[in-house]
Amino acid sequence: MQYLISVIDDTTDSATSDEMAAIDAFNDGLRAEGHWVFAGGLAAPGTATVIDNTGDELVLTDGPSIETKEYIGGFWIITADDLHIAIALAV
């Protein structure tokens, strides 16, 4: 099965070199153990553009669609045999 691991962030600072090294090591481990599917880092909310195509015409709005103290800073899609393995990988 595939699982989504979300990176929750509450800062708009860029990751430090130590944090990036930890992310690289985590990615390498996922690949080595055959759990890697896909991952992506996301820019800070201040760089967001909301795309709304629900009405008669497309509406673009600068900024996030909601104000919040936390946001998704990135994610991994992993594969694991069950939820328990996915949880173990995520912690």
77 located within any domain: yes
Q: How many domains does the chain have?
A: 1
- pLDDT (0 to 100) of residue 48: 86
31 located within any domain: yes
Burial of 77 (0-12, 13-18, 19+ CB in 10 A): middle
Distance CA 15, CA 17 (A): 7
CATH number at 83 reads: 3.30.70.1060
58 located within any domain: no
- Summarised one tens digit per residue, pLDDT across range 41-67 is 888 888 888 899 999 999 999 877 777
22 located within any domain: yes
Distance CA 55, CA 39 (A): 32
- Confidence at 39, pLDDT banded by 50, 70, 90: very high
Return all residues near 26 (Cβ < 8 A) that are at least 6 apart: none
Domain span at residue 37 reads 2-42+69-90
52 located within any domain: no
- pLDDT (0 to 100) of residue 68: 76
Return all residues near 77 (Cβ < 8 A) that are at least 6 apart: 2, 3, 4, 5, 37, 38, 39
- pLDDT (0 to 100) of residue 37: 98
